[in-house]
Amino acid sequence: MTILPKKTLQELLIKCWMTHDGMWFYHCAQECGIETANRLNKAAIKSLAPLELDRVRKAFQLGPVETYADIKKLIDSAFDVLKGDFMQFRYSFPSEDVMRWEMHQCFAYEGMKRFGLADTYQCGVVYRVGCWLEHAGVPFTMNPPVEGCLMRINGKCEGEIRFSF
């Protein structure tokens, strides 16, 4: 039996999970309509976020989020295990209490285009990060607010999150 290197295994598992997520969304949209699929997708993300974040906290032995350094460490830790290279997005912390993100190609948007749902898909990728922050108890603002899909609207998905401690 071949043992895969850790990074190869991680990438495979994340791709499989994201493919399952996309196929679930597609079949839900086919069966129930896009409005219901978007609503259920966001509900699933919101209920997943606390479990996911608590597992990351436990795995990395992180305490409660009380400072900018704490939220930076938690986000870095979460993306360390939950972000695949194929996702092709970047994030940074350019100044105190700010996180920036940018995607010039989005795996979720590309999938929605293949399904013919890009015009009505509501982003779950950035929404997921917002749900993490809510669960961590960190007040924040997102600019621009993510309503719909920024890739569809602007041809790119980028913005910033400002934390309030």
CATH of the domain at 63: 3.30.1380
Residue at token pair 């400072």: 67
Q: What are 82-122's pLDDT values in tens digits? A: 999 999 899 999 999 999 999 989 999 999 999 999 999 99
Q: Which domain holds residue 59?
A: 8-163
Q: Note the pLDDT of residue 30.
A: 97
- Asked if residue 108 belongs to a domain, the reply is yes
- Asked if residue 2 belongs to a domain, the reply is no
- The closest of 115, 124, 116 to 39, measured between CA atoms, is 124
How many distinct structural domains can be found in the chain? 1
Peptide bond just before 5 cis, omega within 30 deg: no
Q: Note the pLDDT of residue 165.
A: 87
Q: Can you point out the beta strands (E) in 96-148? A: 98-103, 140-143
- Asked if residue 133 belongs to a domain, the reply is yes
- Asked if residue 99 belongs to a domain, the reply is yes
What are the angstrom distances between the C-alpha of 102 and each of 4, 90, 99, 161? 30, 5, 10, 12
- The closest of 143, 138, 129 to 165, measured between CA atoms, is 138
Q: Note the pLDDT of residue 111.
A: 94
DSSP 3-state of 141: strand
Would you say residue 147 has pLDDT above 90?
no
- Asked if residue 116 belongs to a domain, the reply is yes
- Asked if residue 3 belongs to a domain, the reply is no
Long-range contacts of 108-116 (CB under 8 A, 24+ apart): 108/18, 108/22, 109/149, 109/151, 109/152, 109/157, 111/22, 112/149, 115/22, 115/26, 115/29
Structure tokens, 132: 């993490």
- Asked if residue 98 belongs to a domain, the reply is yes
- Asked if residue 18 belongs to a domain, the reply is yes
